[in-house]
Each structure stands twice: as C-alpha cells, then as structure tokens.
Chain A
Amino acid sequence: MSASGLKTGQPPVKRAGAGTFKLTWQLLLIGIGALVVLLSITRFFTGADDLTSAGAINAAVALAVPIGLAGLGGLWSERAGVVNIGLEGMMILGTWAGAWGSIQFDNPWAGVLAGAIGGLVGGLLHAVATVSFGVDHIISGVAINILGLGITQFLSKVTFAEMAGGGDTQSPPVPKPGLVSVPGIGEPLADLEARHWFLLSDLAGILRGLLTNVSLFTILAIALVPLTFYVLWRTAFGLRLRSCGERPVAAESLGVNVYTYKYAAVVISGALAGLGGAFLSLVAASAYREGQTAGRGFIGLAAMIFGNWRPGGLAGGAMLFGYTDALQLRRGGESVHALLLLVAILIAAVAVYQLVQQQRTQAAVITGAAAVIVFAIFALTDSVPEQFTSVTPHITTLLVLSLAAQRLRMPAADGLPYRKGQAK
C-alpha cells in the first residue's frame, strides 16, 4: 500500500539539511541507557532520591502527555504547511468538552471523544480561516486562543454552573478513565527501589513509574506518537500531506488537492490538541477548571520545534519538559540542585568531545569553563531557591533548543499562504 503511493510523489524536494547524523535504534537505546546511568550516578552522589523515583517518573509522564498531544497537533498542522498557534485555544475547548462529555454521558471515554471533537471544531475554524480564506496563520491562531477561552467561559456558565458541585469556572468532579498496572511487579520493584542500590534501584523506580498506575488515556496518547509517524511517513496519504507543507505548488501539479489535505491536517491537529485538553480535565485534574491549560499549548508547540517537526523528537521534548517539571514540583530545591551536577557532567562531556573529536580547542576551553562554573555552583550551594526551580523546565528546554537550533529544519512552505492555481 505504501510502496505504490510513494512512487507518485517521489521527489518532494528533500534536502539533506539535517546533516549526516542518522539516529538508529541502537544509538537511541545506548543514549537512553547512558542517561539512566548518568541519572543513577547523580542520584548516588547527591542523595536526591527523587531523580529516579517511581512517583517522579509517573508524574513526569502525566505532565508530558498534554504537552505531547498539543505538540502532535502542531506537527500535523505544520507538516501540511499551516502554522497552528491556536493550539492553546483548541486545548481549552478540549478541557471543557472533555469534562462535559464525561459528565453528560457518565462515561470517561465519551469525554475523551467529546474533547477531541471540541478541539476539532477549533481546528476546523482555523482551517476555514487560513486555508479557504487565506487569513494570516498567526492572526487566526491568536483569535482562536481568545475565542477558545471566551467560548468555554460562556459554556461553563450555562452548563457547569447549573450542576451540583459545579460553578461558573469549574465543573463538578468527572468520571475518570481507569488506571492499569502490569500485575505482580509493583511490590518487588518498590522493595528494590527502597534499597537505593546503584543503578538497580534506579531502574526499578523508572520501571515502576512507567508500568504501574498508568491511566488508559495515557496509553492511548503514547500510542498516537508511533501512529502519527506511521501515517505521515509510511502511507501515501501522509506523503501527500507532507508535500503540501514542503511545496504545495508541486503537489498540486501532481494532482493532489492541497486544500483537502490541509483541511484534514488542521482538523486532526485540532482534535489532538483537544485530546490534550481532555487529558488535563479528565486525568491530570479531575474536573474542568478555567485557565487550567496554563500555556501548555504553546509549550507543546515549542516541544514540536524542539523535536525538529518529527514525532519521536517531539515526544522526547515533551518528556524532558514533563520530567523537569515533575522534579521541580515534587522536591524542587533538592532535585534541581542534583540536576546541576548532571548538567556539569554533560557539559564536560561536550568539552571533551569538542577537544578530541572536533579538535576545536578554543570552543572546548569555553565549554569546559562553563562546566566548571556549573559544578562550582553545585558544590557551593545546598539547594536551589524557589524562584529558580519553577523555571527549570523552561531553562532546560531553552538550553537544549539553543544547542540543537542549527540542525532544525521546518517544512519548507510552513506558514506561507497558498492559493489554488498560483503556480505560473
């Protein structure tokens, strides 16, 4: 199925822009393994047990999912060439619709569906404005953010305010999707974790966090990442959709109905953002609450850019943000302080790499100095002040982004206006 489709759109102007570096499964596994060892070393020497505790990992996943879903939404839309800054508004629609559906039909999965539909409506509006009418993508997106907030405020006034336990700005508690655990591993892993052995306890903590008390909605959300990859990169539909984001004129000349594909992409984008919103009201909290998205739509967009417009990278970005956020919320001073050591080790490794592999002595000296400074801050303080811990996720993301920015490549026609028949 995919082979025949791939033929029709063979040369979609793909530059080898991302460099010669190719991420394989082996490299990925080695990378993750190295990260766990590094975390384990850090935990062992600092005693910040929360770095790899089951609670922190579990919370990290729960905080990463809404960001990841919003990012996936952004990915779908931008791969088809439509910038979607309205993700936040679509998420807000999803929070309300998710809670409402769940309460109205007394079934959390009805809420999940309703949340997707809520976001989808926002996406449809964005598609009508940007694809049919050629409105500037940013303007339409901003309007949807304002509109999403306004509509949900109005809707919660006419729905939740009437219900027992609800109010103008919040819904009554909602029925939640169930939690699942891999049976029989919770107790032994918890025992192992409590012993604080090097590496073994860390692995136990991480596994327990990932495999016990996981919401079914979380599993659904995680499954959407490989699904997105499959649909966009392994099917004819996906190839055509991406061609609309790279060079719509060329796609059109090959008989692709660009408008249809853009519509499909933006509508799916809205539905995914809506799912992210529904996750917030159904799983992360257990009620709709005005303003509960708190900018997560924008962070999702950042996670997508962080992931170089790829599902895997995006999931990594969301997870990094979720993890650091979980650490700072749970035991900020202690855990973030321990992270400083980790950062110092990482920067030192980069310095060694620059010196040995790239023979850039000057750069290596600067990087090495940075490592020493971070280590000095770590060594001279006991904990990190509250004012700094709360921005840890943002700073981490910013740092990684600034290091990776040279390698990023957005879809070539992303954000550009496209009119049917504009090719000369």
Chain B
Amino acid sequence: MLQNRFGRLAATALAGSMLMGAAACGGGEEPATSASPTGGATSAAPAGGTTKVGLAYDIGGRGDQSFNDAAAAGLDKAKTELGLAETKELEAGSGETEAAKEERLRLLAQGGFNPIIAVGFAYSGPMKKVATEFPEVKFAIVDDEAAAGPNISNLVFAEHEGSFLVGAAAALKSKKNHVGFVGGVEVPLIKKFEAGFVAGAKAVKSDIKVDVKYLTQPPDFAGFNDPAKGKTAAEGMFDAGADVVYHAAGGSGGGVFEAAKAAQGWGIGVDSDQAKTAAEGVRDVILTSMIKKVDVAVFDFLKSASTGAPKAGTTVYDLKAGGVDYSTTGGHVDDIKTQLDEYKQKVISGEISVPKEVS
C-alpha cells in the first residue's frame, strides 16, 4: 500500500500548496510598497519627509478608473507635493469579511504607517475597532460618518447635490420626458445618489418619469462589478422609453454606457469624469458625469496630517466646497450650462435644499 500512502501524501501536499497559493494571491495583498526615494529627496516640503502613509482601498483598488483611482490620484499628488517618505497601498478582495478589513488596517498601523486612509464605507466597522486600538495613529475614512472617534477624520461627500445637477441635466436633455437610474447595490450611500437625481429631474420637469433599478441587494455586493447586469437593466429602461440613464454602479456602469450606445440614448457617469476614463467606444454617449473629488479630500487630509493637525470628525465636501460637481467634457451639456449653473447657485445658496433620502 505504499502507492496509496504516497497518493495520500501527494494529495495533502497538493491541497496544501493550493491553499497556500490561494492565500498568497487570494487577498490581493501584494504589498505595493513604494518607498519613493526620489520623492523624499527632491521635495523640499519640510514636515512630510518622514510621513509614512497607508492607504486601504475598497474592492477594485487602484485601476478601477473611478472611485479608488480618485483616491490614488490624491495620494500620488501628495507624494510629489508633500514628499511622503513611504506609502503602502493595500486593496480589498471581493467577498471578504470584516475581519479581513480589520486585519488590513491593523497591519498598516503596526507597520508604523501614520496617517492611514481607508477608502469606502465598507471599512466603517473595522475602522472604528482598529482606531481605538491605536489611539496615537491618525485615521481617515472616505464615505462614512458612522465610524466616529477622536483620531478618525470622516471625509464625506454631498453626492445628492452633485446628483441633483446631473438629474437636472438629464431632464433638460430628455426628449421623451423619461429618464432612468441604475444603482449598483441598494445601500444608503447609493440611495443618496438616487434621491438627488430624482429631485434634480423633477425640479426641471415635475411630471418626468424616473425608472429606478438596483442590481443587487446587500449583502450581495456583486452589483458593483457586473457589467452584464448593468447592461440588461439599462436596456430595459431604454426599451421602456427612457433616453437618459444615470448610473451609480461602479464597474457595472460600463454595461450601462454600452446599452446607451446601442439605444442611441445618453448615459451619465459617476465619481470621476467618465467621458475621459470609460472605454473609448462609449465616451461619446456620456452626457456628463457626477464628479466626486475624492482626490481633493485625500490630498487635503494628507496635507493637514503632514502639518500634524488633521481635523477629527466629519468634513463634508459639498457643492459649495467644490467636493462634488458635474463635468463638461465632450461639450454635450454646453447648451444647458447656464441653466445648470443657475441650479448650482441655488443649491449653494440654500435656496434649493436637496433631499438625502428617497421620498
């Protein structure tokens, strides 16, 4: 039975190596440490020279051409302008647990990184826990207010205000008086986009029809990464008579733009100026994008952290602060720009109060 024993041994070894391989690749935790020697050497920024910044991305990470990339841009800007000593970027794997996120933050804190930025509301629980374990480390979390603490800065955006403007743009451009909204996952954050969009469209035409669809329900977050579903949902809206569809669905948005192209309608981008970042073939159907300046928030936080005093608690980047806006790339909204800017002024002045929740 030697052969049998060998078989079992080999099997164990194989299974073991599989799992180890999985552990090595699975979490996507290849330390993307870039000890930027040039940055430290060339920059004359005095206080930043010794700052080690840790950044934990949400699912998608650097290269998602959207939300995470915006955070990366802020970090890159800080790296060259503030001369950070070292930065470390880790990203979340799809379907991971809260414990994995906790471990990621703890890893950064133990590695001497200070400040540490977590990108995305999914870090809310883990951040709260880890921040109390490391009271001397400065933390920041993007898109979340729930994780409060003396050493946590909450960088949040007034997405509803930005969505209000693109909602107005959609209504102004719609010839059929019918627009649509595709959300990735039905969570409170994405519902803010919906509320703003609907309010914006109704502000222009009170009788406009707005179709709303969420691709998945929490805790299934696949809706942010499933272009096939995004396309089907948007096709349904275009077939039903809509001619402008706004998406807040992360990576599924590519499918929405494809459907818009096939139906000769308009798509509206989200988070970054997608007329510049989306796939080349669909850029011309992107009417405008609701820009969320995560890069500005990240840079501002790092700047204040490098001088030693970041503000704990919530900082809201709203329309007034230039934290959200609509994009004009492609020139498709040039004819309605004056109207949009009027709405913008009204929101800034408080004349129009945009609802955060779907009524």
Chain A contact residues, CB within 8 Å of chain B: 50, 53, 55-56, 59, 62-63, 125, 128-129, 132-135, 139-140, 143-144, 146-147, 149-151, 153-154, 157, 161, 165-170, 172-173, 280, 284-287, 289-292, 294-295, 325-326, 329-332, 386-387, 390-391, 419
Among A59, A62, A147, A291, contact of B18 (Cβ-Cβ < 8 Å): A147
> Is A170 touching B22 in the complex (CB atoms < 8 A)?
no
A50-B239 contact, Cβ under 8 Å, with A151-B25, A286-B279, A287-B227: yes
B15 sits at the interface (CB 8 A)? yes
Interface positions of B from 273 to 292, Cβ below 8 Å from A = 279-281
CB distance from B274 to the nearest CB of A (A): 12
Q: Does B215 contact A (CB under 8 A)?
A: yes
The answer to whether B216 has its CB under 8 Å from any CB of chain A is yes
A331 contacts B225, C-beta separation under 8 Å = no
Is B7 among interface residues, defined by CB-CB distance under 8 A?
yes
Residues of B contacting A151 in the complex (Cβ-Cβ under 8 angstroms): 21, 25
Which of A62, A128, A167 meets B64, CB within 8 Å? A167
The contact sample of 14 A-B pairs, CB cut-off 8 A, is: A147-B18, A150-B21, A157-B30, A167-B65, A167-B69, A169-B251, A170-B64, A170-B65, A294-B229, A326-B232, A329-B232, A330-B237, A387-B217, A419-B4
CB distance B240 to A50 under 8 Å?
yes
Q: Which of A150, A289, A326, A331 contacts B227 (CB 8 A)?
A: A289
Q: Which residues of chain B in 33-61 are interfacial with respect to chain A, using CB atoms and an 8 Å cutoff?
A: 59-61
Please provide the chain B residues from 248 to 289 with a CB less than 8 Å away from any CB of chain A in the complex. Answer: 251, 254-255, 258, 279-281
Contact across chains for B240 and A153 when beta carbons are under 8 A apart: no
Known A-B contacts A128-B14, A154-B25, A289-B251; A331 and B236 likewise in contact (beta carbons under 8 Å): yes
- How far apart are the CA atoms of A132 and B226 in the complex, in Å? 36
- Name which residue of chain B comes closest to A56, CB basis: B236
Residues of chain B lying within 8 A (CB to CB) of residue A386 = 186, 212-214, 217
Task: Say yes or no: A329 contacts B215, CB within 8 Å.
Answer: yes
Distance A135 CA – B227 CA, assembled complex (angstroms): 36
Residues in chain B near residue A128, CB distance under 8 A = 14
B336 within 8 A of A: no
Q: Mark B195-236, 1 if CB is under 8 A from A, else 0.
A: 000000000000000011111110000100111110111011
Q: Smallest Cβ distance from B208 to chain A, in angstroms?
A: 17
Are B222's CB and A295's CB within 8 A? yes
CB-CB under 8 A for A133 and B7, given A50-B236, A128-B14, A330-B236: yes
A135 near B15: Cβ-Cβ < 8 Å: yes
Q: Chain A residues near B251 (CB, 8 Å)?
A: 169-170, 289, 292
Q: How far is the CA of A140 from the CA of B60 in the complex (A)?
A: 27
- The answer to whether B14 and A150 have CB atoms under 8 Å apart is no
Q: A133 touching B63 by the CB < 8 A rule?
A: no
A286 with B22, Cβ < 8 A, contacts A62-B232, A169-B63 known = no
Contact between A330 and B233, CB atoms less than 8 A apart: yes
Give the chain A neighbours of B229 by CB distance below 8 A: 294, 329
Contacts of A63 in B (CB 8 A): 228, 232
Secondary structure dominating the interface of B = helix
B225: which of A149, A173, A290 is its contact (CB, 8 Å)?
A290
Complex CA distance for A128 and B10, rounded to whole angstroms: 11
Which residues from chain A contact B4 at a C-beta distance below 8 Å? 419
Residues of A within 8 A of B15 (CB): 129, 135, 139-140, 143
State the Cβ distance, A312 to closest chain B Cβ, in Å: 25
- Residues in B whose Cβ lies below 8 Å from that of A168: 61-64, 91
Q: Are A390 and B214 in touch, CB under 8 angstroms?
A: yes
The minimal Cβ–Cβ distance linking B219 to chain A, given in whole angstroms, is 12
| Docked-complex contact A150 and B61, CB < 8 angstroms | no
**A172/B279 in contact, CB under 8 A:** yes
The answer to whether A330 and B18 have CB atoms under 8 Å apart is no
Asked whether A134 and B8 contact (CB < 8 A) given A55-B235, A285-B254, A326-B232, the answer is yes
Is there contact, CB below 8 Å, between B226 and A294?
Answer: yes
Taking a contact as CB atoms under 8 Å apart, the answer to whether B213 and A329 are in contact is: yes
Most buried by A among B24, B215, B216, B226: B226
10 shortest A-B CB distances, which residue pairs?
A167-B63, A330-B236, A150-B25, A285-B227, A284-B228, A133-B11, A168-B63, A294-B222, A146-B22, A291-B94
The CA-CA distance from A170 to B258 in the complex, in Å, is 16
Chain B residues, CB < 8 A from A294: 222, 225-226, 229
- Contact A390 B216, beta carbon cutoff 8 Å: yes
Across the two chains, which residue of chain B brings its CB closest to A420? B3
Q: Check B227–A286 contact: CB distance below 8 A.
A: yes
A169 and B61 in contact, given A55-B235, A59-B232 (Cβ under 8 angstroms)? yes
Identify 8 new A-B residue pairs, CB closer than 8 A, beyond the known A146-B19, A285-B231: A62-B232, A134-B7, A135-B14, A154-B30, A167-B63, A172-B279, A173-B280, A287-B227
User: Does A167 contact B21, Cβ atoms closer than 8 Å?
Assistant: no
Task: Specify which chain B residues have a CB less than 8 angstroms from the CB of A139 in the assembled complex.
Answer: 15
> Looking across the interface, which residue of chain A has its beta carbon closest to that of B277?
A165
Q: Is the CB of A330 within 8 A of B232?
A: yes
Most A C-beta atoms less than 10 A away, residue of B8, B14, B236? B236
Q: Which of A55, A151, A326, A329 has the most CB of B within 10 A?
A: A329
Shortest CB distance B152–A (Å): 27
Given A287-B254, A291-B59, decide whether A330 and B25 contact each other with a Cβ distance below 8 A.
no
Q: Is the CB of A133 within 8 A of B10?
A: yes
Complex: chain A residue closest to B182, CB-CB:
A329
Q: What A residues does B18 contact at CB under 8 A?
A: 125, 129, 140, 143-144, 146-147
Which residue of chain A lies nearest to B258 when distances are taken between CB atoms in the complex?
A286
Across the two chains, which residue of chain B brings its CB closest to A139?
B15
Which partner residue on chain A sits nearest B279 by CB separation?
A: A173
Q: B11 — which chain A residues lie within 8 A by C-beta?
A: 129, 133-135
- Chain A residues closer than 8 Å to B215, beta-carbon distance: 329, 390
Interface membership of B355, Cβ < 8 A: no
Q: Is A286 a contact of B254 with CB atoms below 8 Å? A: yes
Q: In the complex, what distance in Å separates the CA atom of A170 from the CA atom of B94?
A: 13
On whether A287 and B279 interact (CB within 8 A), knowing A168-B61, A292-B225, A386-B186, the answer reads yes
Q: Which residues of A contact B14 (CB under 8 A)?
A: 128-129, 133, 135
A391 to B214 Cα, complex, angstroms: 12
Looking across the interface, which residue of chain B has its beta carbon closest to that of A168? B63
Of chain A, the residue at the smallest CB distance from B26 is A150
B227 and A292 form a contact (CB under 8 A) = yes
Closest to A154 in B: B25
A158–B236 Cα distance when bound, in Å, is 36
